[in-house]
Structure 1
Amino acid sequence: MAEQRTLADPDVDGDKPDAVVVRDALGVGGAVGLSGFAFGVTSAGSGLTLVQTCVLSLLVFTGASQFALVGALAAGGSPFTAAAGAFFLGVRNAFYGLRLSEVLRLTRAVRPFAAQWVIDETTAVALAQPTRRSARIGFAVTGLSLYVLWNLTTLLGALGAEAIGDTDAWGLDAAGPAVFLALLAPMVKSATERAAAGLAVVLGLGLLPVLPAGVPVLVAALAAPVVLWARGRHVRGSVR
């Protein structure tokens, strides 16, 4: 039987050249990193200073959480609810880390630094590779290119927002949510994911007029466990 070259056997060299892995990783890092400009504009438009905006990208570095935070603040939400919404959106990165720890097998000294780059894009690129070596390259190149470009475009976006003044008048207040939806849409593929996304939209928009800013996002997060529970009941009923 031919030897299967997968991450299950990381010591076997894969057929994917390092140059191809680097090219693919740079493509992802470059494409997504440019959306940092939208975050810079949105953050500055919500009232955060240039320094606050840049520190968020430097330390938080997870687009969904950053957009949720500044979006809630812009809508008049309290810092607590804004931070809570950002936190719950960022929890998924912890689960990514558990999977990547098995794939990358980094040394203890490197793990704290690598943890900063555990996001959707680096996880997707790393898990798509056939061997541990290519997974490490993909993770590192995606993380580095995306981190540098995201922070650079955040700075440019915040400076641009300050220069043009009222971002609402230019319609740039919608740039952040639009970019986030554009990144999220391709990930929603299965019927379960579509149901969870649809329910989250209904909850978020329906509760927007009656709950304080930032709280509808937290309630919308309940859509996923509700849909999974309903699906589980349906599957058990079909088995019977």
Structure 2
Amino acid sequence: MSSFMSVFASLVAGLADVLDPLFHGASTAAAIVLFTALVRLLVHPLSRAGARGQRERLKLQPRIAELRKKHKKNPEALQKAILELHREEKVSPLSGCLPMLFQMPAFFLLYHLFSSRSIGGDPNELLGHTLGGAPLGGRFADALGHGGLLGEQGLVYVALFALVATVATFNYRRTKRQMALSARPEATGDGGGQQVPGMAAMNRLMPLMSFMTLFSVAFVPLAAALYIVTSTTWSAVERAVLYRDMPYGAAAAPAL
């Protein structure tokens, strides 16, 4: 593991060296943003496949509505019938989750790299690199202890929170709009019939999940926070493009 982390640290440092003429003291932070963008490019085909899968799932809604009517008193039979329908049509109900799952190793690598004081027995020099005076290995609480919210380090987090709040608000409004459309009878194909148990509560909570990123940014190392902010912004733009022709139901697919 230590040798692997050494290779990963060298990769980040190499990207920072390439970007140094443009970003100077913030070159390591820029390297993390670039690394995140490269990871998202790698998983973009999975995101496109997830969008295609969502379109296929939407086509199944009228048949699923019929199954709900048929098994409305037997939830276990309903679940089994829906899974069987997905198998018959070769539609994976989890295809939208794959981009998030494939990103997790990259995120945890970055988190571990900027949480470790040493790599392969040597001091981790990356921890001393900064963005606007805030150490990439530091956290929001550390920034508050060095000048408060309006101090040099605190203002870095203020900027990140502002960006995250903007993206979260965009996702919130879009998800609310899609949820409202998906609740219409013409969207479900069941004439306003019975919903899956617990779906109403999920529909109320799902739009608010966009704001959970604010808490993540506050508690992880700044380097990992940069990954989260970059990836979340990418997801918002990517989903707006890939799901632009879906009048309803796209909100059901997860976004990191």
Q: Which has the higher contact order (CA 8 A, sep 6+)?
A: 1
Name the TM-score, length of structure 2 as normaliser: 0.27
Q: TM-score, normalised by structure 1?
A: 0.28
Larger Rg: 1 or 2? 2
